[in-house]
Structure 1
Amino acid sequence: MTTRIDSQPAAASLPRPAATILLLREQRSQIEVLMVRRHANLSFMGGMWVFPGGSLHAADTSDAALALIDVDQVAQRMPMVDLHGQPLTTVQTAGLAFAACRETFEETGVLLATHADGSPPDAALIERVQSQRDASNADAAVFVQLLQQNDLRPDFASLAYWSHWITPSSAPKRFDTRFFIVRAPQATLASADTGETVESLWMQPGELLAAAERRQMPISHPTQCNLHDLREALGRYRSLDDLLAGEASRQVTPILPKMFREQDHMTIVMPWDASYDACPGDGLPNPQSNALHALPSRVIANH
């Protein structure tokens, strides 16, 4: 049977900058990652389990936000490039890291911040800030104000830049997403915001992948790939501290899958597929990652 591939995709829409965090903790020598389930009625990834995150907002690169950040230090520690391999500005880089911390607070209540001297906020201060979580969800500028009013700074020193995924050029809604990893603050109690997210849980990456394989926990392909990548990395380190230290200078290559219609279904082709270059849609070079190359290079999105 001849396979039909649409060779004239519509013009690509510009992807929205976004950031997300793999929030990690160590329990009885096992590493767990926090997942949140999106509300089923949401138009984008409704009902799916995801890492906390969301779009970059103007407040994340506002003068008030940047005043709380050593912008040059963040850019030096976590160099980022755009879809064409050009370096992001220091402000863009710092803004994406800021957005990751803000979105994590809004979706889970986890506050990734310290005082100016690096000391963690006490329980009373965390509770006071968390009482304004709904307000921050409604207006991203509120998170900046909460940090200012309580002498707090985003805890960028603990963040490690993990991966960079871009939604296929043929998709109607696109995101240019930076993934970070970080250790959850001690005594962290995460909870869904009941708006965008309705449930949260901690699980080991292998357990999450097994649940997704059994179709008990629906996850997107980028989420699956990041979980595989995390599981593979955990096998190379003895502890969470070792992982965070070892991946602090990780080389991150942008990953841009291709998506097109074949017969009665959509096919997603990864950059490590042998036919990737010949498939329709915008593409990027193949990332040199053993963990990713061990994964299937094609996925049937829907029938």
Structure 2
Amino acid sequence: MSSSESNVAAPAVPRDAASVLLLREQADDIEVLLTRRHENMAFMGGMWVFPGGTLCPADSSAEVLRLIPDSARSQCHHLQDLEGNALPEATCMALAIAAIRETFEESGVLLATTADGHHADDQRLTRLQQRRRAIVSQPQLFATLLQEEHLHFDVAALVYWSHWITPSAVSKRFDTRFFLASLPPEQHAVVDTIEATEMKWMTPAAVIAAAHDGKMNVSRPTLYNLMELDASVRQHLSLNAILRAEANRDVVPVLPKVLSGESRLIVMPWDRDYHAFAGSGVSQHISYPQRLLALPSRTKER
């Protein structure tokens, strides 16, 4: 190995993360919730994102996993790694829990039910909302509070939507699972004011147009997930129809490559020259569905 090769740093290992595209039906429109991160945030500061964050040790503790009843464990999605290998059941459940916890932390929306399947009532929600800020700094507190309120994680509410991995050229990387979920009845989203400055319910088409016009700053994964969601909205028309149709969708890993030059070019795995470019990539054996092939294969980074 030459000295120049030995000085090249290995790509950062992506951290497991989960994110939720929270949906509601409003005046015959299907809207998705986005929050705008504080400008001073080290990662994606000022950008519009879906609620989400990294997996933490508390999400996979035995105490937390017990809040998924045995009868509901089969409803946790069976996830795979980048090479197509099945993840351990406990990891799959922990990612679902992380998605639910982060959604509560950042939007106040609670995807949890009582033992008989009912959503949390107003009194329970009020008590939990009062401890919401504490959960941000003490994630393990989330399970304790749910236990006190006799609530269980509503893993059945999550529809596995997409799997994105940050390019290997980026120093801060995430291996993120995106889920769809419907806003529970009688609940309302409230911005957390810790990591975010504002939130909006918008149709996917409206966010895409605002991003195109430079009125909203969104990341590439956010934009592509919105493009897929917009296509699903136009095809299925209602929220219930979307959730039913997408319940068993084929999710494949998306690991873009970044090419540096006069402007950074982002190349998607379905680009015909993808495997010829340097950088970590997906397996050549992965077949991408038509819904992804219909999206841009190359874009310039803004």
TM bracket (short chain): over 0.9
Summarize the Cα distance change of 1:249–1:72 in structure 2 as closer, same or farther, 3 Å threshold.
farther
The answer for the alignment partner of 1:3 in structure 2 is none
Aligned length: 294
The answer for the alignment partner of 1:270 in structure 2 is 268
Query: What pairs with 1:40-119 in structure 2 (closer than 5 Å)?
Result: 40-70=39-69, 73-74=72-73, 77-119=76-118
Work out the CA distance in 2 between the residues paired with 1:275 and 1:261. Answer: 15
Between stretches 243-252 and 72-81, larger displacement belongs to 72-81
Work out the CA distance in 2 between the residues paired with 1:202 and 1:248. Answer: 23
Q: Does 1:282 align with 2:270?
A: no
Deviations 1:85-123 (A, max 9, x none): 110000000000000000000011111111111111111
Gaps of 5+ in 2: 1-6
Summarize the Cα distance change of 1:160–1:15 in structure 2 as closer, same or farther, 3 Å threshold.
same
Gaps of 5+ in 1: 1-7
Summarize the Cα distance change of 1:107–1:119 in structure 2 as closer, same or farther, 3 Å threshold.
same
Work out the CA distance in 2 between the residues paired with 1:191 and 1:162. Answer: 24
The Cα of 1:261 is off from its aligned counterpart by 1.3
The answer for the alignment partner of 1:197 in structure 2 is 196
Work out the CA distance in 2 between the residues paired with 1:153 and 1:70. Answer: 7
Are the counterparts in 1 of residues 72 and 155 from structure 2 also a CA contact under 8 Å? Answer: no
The Cα of 1:255 is off from its aligned counterpart by 0.7
Identity of paired residues, percent?
47
The Cα of 1:73 is off from its aligned counterpart by 4.8
Q: Report the secondary structure of 1:212's partner residue.
A: helix
AA paired with 1:249? Answer: N
Deviations 1:51-98 (A, max 9, x none): 000000000000110111146854565111011111000000000000
Q: Does 1:32 align with 2:12?
A: no
Are the counterparts in 2 of residues 71 and 91 from structure 1 also a CA contact under 8 Å? Answer: no
Are the counterparts in 1 of residues 105 and 135 from structure 2 also a CA contact under 8 Å? Answer: yes
Work out the CA distance in 2 between the residues paired with 1:192 and 1:134. Answer: 11
Q: Does 1:210 align with 2:189?
A: no
Are the counterparts in 2 of residues 72 and 90 from structure 1 also a CA contact under 8 Å? Answer: no
Deviations 1:156-197 (A, max 9, x none): 111110000000111100000000001101122212111111
The answer for the alignment partner of 2:4 in structure 1 is none
The answer for the alignment partner of 1:13 in structure 2 is 12
Could you state the TM-score of these two structures normalised by the residue count of structure 1? Answer: 0.93
Work out the CA distance in 2 between the residues paired with 1:71 and 1:198. Answer: 38
Between stretches 281-290 and 196-205, larger displacement belongs to 281-290
Summarize the Cα distance change of 1:182–1:287 in structure 2 as closer, same or farther, 3 Å threshold.
farther
Query: What pairs with 1:111-260 in structure 2 (closer than 5 Å)?
Result: 111-260=110-259
Summarize the Cα distance change of 1:152–1:73 in structure 2 as closer, same or farther, 3 Å threshold.
closer
